Structure 1
Amino acid sequence: MSGKADPRAAGEGTTSRTRLDRGRGALGPALQLVHTGRAPTRAVLTAELGVTRATAGAVAAELEALGLIRVDARPGAAAGAQGRPSHRLSIAEDGPVALAAQVHADGFRAALVGLGGRIVATAPGRLSVDADPAQVLGAVVEAGAGLLRTTGRRCVGAAVAVPSAVAEPEGLALNPLHVAWPAGAPVRRIFEECVRAAGITGPAFAANDVNLAALAEHRHGAGRGARDLLCVATGHRGVGGALVLDGRLHTGSSGLALEVGHLTVNPEGRPCHCGSRGCLDVEADPLAFLTAAGREPGPEVSLLRQAEDLVRNHRDDPAVREAVAALIDRLGLGLAGLVNILNPDRIILGGLHRTLLEADPDRLRAVVAGRSLWGRSGAVPVLPCTLSHNSLVGAAELAWQPVLDDPLAALAREAGHG
């Protein structure tokens, strides 16, 4: 063979690099489109990005080279389809992961979550939470580090969902009452120290569990396609809310927006830890349901499991039926107030609230519509959350965000710290 370079090959290489240079700014948007399922093919990616087919191909090839997506160059054409089928795009199943963790009143769990919100591996949940946040966060990171060792996956970062408002920029858990942590615990700093001590690379984050559930549902679940999404949920204790405005999670000036648990829904109700009375937090959570149904909470399973079992399997009991109706009315009253203030285009409910919606959707929707101005002028869809472990998936979204923003820079930083 001649030792001279083929000028045509050199020209093709230069053209390819030029296309990629032009498309570098599109790497993040392209990855987000594939990550959220909005670009299943290269043709759709081209249209969504507003670039040429060649540039979209170079961008997809670069994301594949980074180990983030897969490009199927030989897709099968659908029956009756015209023309050449477009290359299919999918998440790399063996690609990197984020370490996600969730702490709640009845325990904690760790998981590895890939792009697309896919849970790759989970560590068994624990059924007790120490009053020292350092002990809990250390244990959850240890469990996550074990998953990383077992799977051999590359980790892009870590995040933990906690049952408390988290003030920014300090990352302080202001009201972790249901896990008996001290108010103002520096959860993000503690979590980051545990992550570093375990030798895990990438940034570390901490955020409110319902905020993260809303983020996950908006990208991968019942909230997909909504512009202004309201999420209200109760898991193990208390009630939380979150808002996605124009496609972005709204956390307010310091991370404390939408503390919906302290809406008054029963002025003569039980005292709340905030100093008021009859708040959603103590009138519409699993403990409130068990109390309304005349049941004494047991220690064998979580409060959420006990409450959901009653709703699903004991509706023939008049006390349970009355408790379901009472909590639906309280929840509907709170949602109606939020609809009047926020005017969302969709409401999604999680935890026990999802189960109550499924038990009597007509009653809940009627209360919301009857008590809200916007509900009467046009029905606001009220839907159940659809993701399992959505707070875990949302925590992973937080850890993945730097990669989604700038894949090249984020993965270069991770390699530099590896």
Structure 2
Amino acid sequence: MSGKADPRAAGEGTTSRTRLDRGRGALGPALELVHTGRAPTRAVLTAELGVTRATAGAVAAELEALGLIRVDARPGAAAGSQGRPSHRLSVAEDGPVALAAQVHADGFRAALVGLGGRIVATAPGCEVVDADPAKVLGSVVETGAQLLRETGRRCVGAGLAVPSAVAEPDGLALNPLHLAWPAGAPVREIFAQQVRAAGIEGPAFAANDVNLAALAEHRHGAGRGARDLLCVATGHRGVGGALVLDGRLHTGSSGLALEVGHLTVNPAGRPCYCGSHGCLDVETDPLAFLTAAGREPGPEVSLLQQSYDLIREHYADPAVRAATETLIDRLGLGLAGLVNILNPDRVVLGGLHRALLDADPERLRAVVADRSLWGQSGGVPILPCGLDHNSLVGAAELAWQPVLDDPLGVPA
């Protein structure tokens, strides 16, 4: 047997390395395509990236070697199909995770979220939120750290969703009114300090909860495929909005865009924290619904859960139905104004607003159509959010973004 190297083998190795070198710039775009479900096979990946089949194969193999995706080289053929089926691509179920956390007026929740927006583990926190953000965020991070210890997963970073406008570039929570936190609390810095103190690897981020819900819905939920997506939601208190334009979250010059809660929908209505009257924030949130239905809010469960239960279990009650219709009309008026200004190609509603849409979709769509130019030209789709914990998934997207930008930087 000759001791000389086979020149064909050497050539194949060189060619393989050349393909991978050419494809390194495509690693991030390729991972994002798999992450968002837009490239379920290698054939689709090849077409989306505009590269050769061999280069797409090298890119997929590298992402698999990094523990980020799985490549099924022998998938079963669909019934009636001809030819060899393309390799199937999916996120790695046992891959790294991001630590995600959400704080709201009735407590917090921590979760571990993998690629694809898949929640791997989750844990609720306290039901009373302390007025000291450092104390609350310390508990949040400790809960997340415990999940990481229990699962043994690699962590790429951490993201936090808060019910407040978060000003850029400093990450200040400007109006955490329902948390009793001081205005301008440096939540991103505090969260990052707690993450480092817990020994959790990766960068830490913080943003408004509805902005993050919109991001998650656009990548993994009811907003997937939309070009200009408007998201409006009410959680435990207040109303928020967010806009995704051409696939990117629109936050304005300093992170404060789309404060839709302060659109006036009832000039003779309740006083709002902003100084006006009858804003969406105080006319279409759970407290407004319970008040309109003549129900005294109880301390047992959250205002949001009380509202859900009322609609689901007592919708036949005339007072509950009337309250639902009143809030639908106010919400529809606000949505019509937003549609006239923003001209989105899709609207998704979350929290109590999703429940209002489910209760009487035709009424809400009719109000928007009657008050907007879009309605006169065919209407804009109004859909319920598709993810149960979209703000958590969106918080994880913040931590996953550096990996999507540069998969080679994923922690070993």
Q: Judge same fold: TM > 0.5, yes or no.
A: yes
Within 2, Cα distance between the matches of 1:179 and 1:201?
28
Shift of 1:128: 1.3
What is the SS of the residue equivalent to 2:301? Answer: coil
Counterpart in 2 of 1:229? Answer: 229
Residue 244 of structure 1: aligned partner: 244
Distance in 2 (CA, whole Å) between partners of 1:216 and 1:4 is 55
The answer to whether the aligner puts 1:8 opposite 2:8 as a matched pair is: yes
Are residues 1:150 and 2:150 paired?
yes
What displacement does 1:126 show?
Answer: 2.3
Q: How does 1:104-253 map to 2 (within 5 A)?
A: 104-253=104-253
Whether 1:398 aligns to 2:395 is no
Q: Does the CA contact (< 8 Å) of 2:218 and 2:225 recur in 1? A: yes
Q: Which blocks of at least 5 consecutive residues in structure 1 are unaligned? A: none
Moved more, 108-117 or 371-380: 371-380
**Separation of aligned partners in 2, 1:115 and 1:62:** 16
Q: Indicate the residue corresponding to 1:318 in structure 2.
A: 318
Aligned to 1:341: 341
Partner in structure 2 of residue 83 of structure 1: 83
Amino acid at match of 2:74: R
Task: Give the aligned partner of residue 38 of structure 1.
Answer: 38
| 1:26 has 2:26 as partner | yes
**Structure 1 CA distance, aligned partners of 2:197 and 2:247?**
35
Q: Deviations over 1:132-183 (max 9, x none)?
A: 0001111000000001111000000000000000000000000000111000
Counterpart code for 1:199: G
CA distance in 1, matches of 2:78, 2:293: 53
Name the SS of the counterpart of 1:126 in structure 2.
coil
How far apart are the structure 2 equivalents of 1:131 and 1:375? 44
Query: In the TM superposition, what is the alpha-carbon distance from 1:286 to its structure 2 partner?
Result: 0.1
Q: CA RMSD in A?
A: 0.9
1:55 aligned partner: 55
Q: Is the 8 A contact 1:98 1:156 kept in 2?
A: yes
SS of 2:80's equivalent? coil
C-alpha displacement of 1:312:
1.3
Q: Secondary structure at the match of 2:213?
A: helix
Q: Give the drift of 1:12.
A: 1.0
Contact 1:339 1:375 in 2 (8 A): no
**Runs of 5+ unmatched residues, structure 2:** none
Instruction: Tell me the residue number matched to 1:93.
Output: 93
Aligned to 1:98, the other structure's residue is in SS state strand
1:365 aligned counterpart, secondary structure: helix
> How far apart are residue 7 of structure 1 and its match?
2.2
Structure 1 position 2, deviation (Å): 5.2
- Paired residue secondary structure (2:121): strand
Partners of 2:26 and 2:180 in 1: how far apart? 45
* Range moving further from structure 2, 101-110 or 6-15: 6-15
- Distance, in Å, in 1 between the alignment partners of 2:78 and 2:290 is 52
User: 2:216–2:391: 8 Å Cα contact kept in structure 1?
Assistant: yes
Identity %: 88
- Kindly state the Cα deviation for residue 342 of structure 1 after the two structures are TM-superposed: 0.2
- Counterpart for residue 387 of structure 1: 387
Contact 2:125 2:140 in 1 (8 A): no
List structure 1 runs of 4+ shifted beyond 6 angstroms. Answer: none
d(CA) in 2 for partners of 1:153, 1:405? 21
Alpha-carbon distance between aligned partners in 2 of 1:114 and 1:388, rounded to the nearest angstrom: 16
Secondary structure of 2:125 counterpart? strand
**TM-score (ref. length: structure 1):** 0.97
Distance in 1 (CA, whole Å) between partners of 2:9 and 2:177 is: 65
Secondary structure of 1:71's match? strand
2-structure distance, mates of 1:359, 1:286: 15
Aligned residue in 1 for 2:267: 267
1:21-55 superposed Cα distances (whole Å, 9 cap, x missing partner): 00001000000000011111101100111100000
TM-score under structure 2 normalisation? 0.99
**Contact 1:251 1:258 (8 Å CA) reproduced:** yes
Q: Assess if the C-alpha contact under 8 Å between 1:265 and 1:334 holds in 2.
A: yes
For 1:315 and 1:114, the matched residues in 2 are separated by: 38
How many residue pairs were aligned? 412
State the distance in 2 between where 1:403 and 1:6 align.
38
Give CA deviations for 1:352-411 in whole Å, capped at 9, x if unaligned: 000000000000000000011222222100000010100000001111001111111x22
Residue identity matched to 2:329: D
